[in-house]
Amino acid sequence: MIEINNLTKVYKLSKKQMAEQKTKKNMKKAADDISLSAKKGEIYGLLGPNGAGKTTTLRCVATLLKPTAGEITVCGHDTVKEPEKVRESISFLTNEIKLDPQFSPKYMFNFFGRLHGMDEKTIDKRRELLFEHFGINDFQDKKIDELSTGMKQKASIAVSLVHDPEVVIFDEPTNGLDIVTARSVTDYLKLLREEGKLVIVSTHIMSEAEKLCDRIGIIINGRKVMDGTLSEILTATGTDDLEDAFFELYKEHNKEEA
Ligand SMILES: Nc1ncnc2c1ncn2[C@@H]1O[C@H](COP(=O)(O)OP(=O)(O)OP(=O)(O)O)[C@@H](O)[C@H]1O
Ligand SMILES: [Mg+2]
C-alpha cells in the first residue's frame, strides 16, 4: 500500500546552511536509495538517529517533497503524478505543522473536516469520538496559543485524523508527550491497525519501536540498512534487544560514511 522504490532526496544547501552544517559541499543527500514497502493492517516504524532522513522520507511519501530520484506510490497512486489522490487517503503529522494559534482545537477540527468535504454531522461524530479518545474535550474551546505542548500535539493528532484516512503517516507522534498521553496515541495507532489501516511512524525511541511496530526499518545516514520484524532484526544482528541491534548496525554503517 506504500511502495518506496529507490528514493533519493538531495537538498541544495544555502551558504548559511553550509556554514551551519560545517560543510564545503552545497548538497546534502538526506535519503539515499531507500526502498521499502508497508501493507494494510501493519504499523511500520522508521527508526534512526537525528538527521538520519526519517522526516525527509515521510515528507516525500506525504507529497510535501518531490524525490530527486525514485518513485513512491500510496494506495497505487504515484506521489508526484497524482498528489491529490495520495493526499485524500493519508493523514500526515509532523512537528513542523502548527495549528493556527488564535483558533481553538474545535474550530480547527471543523475547518479541516470541511476542507475534506465532510458534512457537519459526520464532522461532529468524528470530533466527539477523537476528542473523547485523546482527552481534548476540556480544552476544545481554548485558543491553541494557550495550550501546553502535549495538548497541542493531541489536538494536531485529532485534526490530522478528521477524514478517517486509510494511511496514517506520523513523524514522531509521541514527541513531547507524557507517558499517559503517549500511550493514548500508541493505543490509537494499534486501533487503526486493527481496522486494517496502514500506519507508518518515525521514532528514535527504541522501546516504542519494539512495542508498537510490526516491522522496523533502520535508517542511518540516509540509507535503510535493515528492515524486518523485531525478531528478524535480532537474529540478523545476533543481539537480544533492539538497542544492541541498532548499535551493531550503527558501528558498521557509520564507519562506511566516515
Ligand atoms: N530543507 C532542508 N534543507 C537542507 N538540508 C536539510 C533540509 N531538511 C533536512 N535537511 C538535512 O537532511 C538530513 C536529514 O534530515 P531529516 O530531518 O530527514 O532527519 P530525521 O531523521 O528526521 O532527524 P530527526 O530525528 O532529528 O528528526 C539532515 O542532515 C538535515 O540537516
Ligand atoms: Mg525528523
* Ligand nearest to the Cα of 11, by number: 1
How does strand 223-228 pair with strand 198-203? Answer: unpaired
Question: Phi and psi dihedrals of 254, rounded to 5?
Answer: -75, -30
User: Above 50 in pLDDT, residue 235?
Assistant: yes
Whether residue 136 has its Cβ less than 6 Å from ligand 1: no
Res 258: pLDDT: 46
* Per-residue pLDDT tens digits for 37-58: 999 999 999 999 999 999 999 9
Whether residue 34 has its Cβ less than 6 Å from ligand 1: no
Q: Identify the band that residue 23 occupies on the pLDDT scale cut at 50, 70 and 90.
A: confident
For residue 58, report the distance from its CA to the centre of ligand 2, in Å: 9
| 35 vs 20: CA distance, rounded Å | 30
Residue 201 CB neighbour total at 10 angstroms: 26
* Per-residue pLDDT tens digits for 72-110: 999 999 999 999 999 999 999 987 667 888 999 999 999
- Over the chain, what is the mean pLDDT? 94
Whether residue 59 has its Cβ less than 6 Å from ligand 1: no
High-pLDDT (> 70) share of the chain, %: 98
| 71 vs 122: CA distance, rounded Å | 35
**CA gyration radius, the chain:** 19
* Beta strand extents in the chain (DSSP E only): 2-12, 27-38, 43-47, 69-74, 77-78, 90-93, 167-171, 198-203, 215-220, 223-228
Which residue in this structure is represented by grid cell 518531490? 66
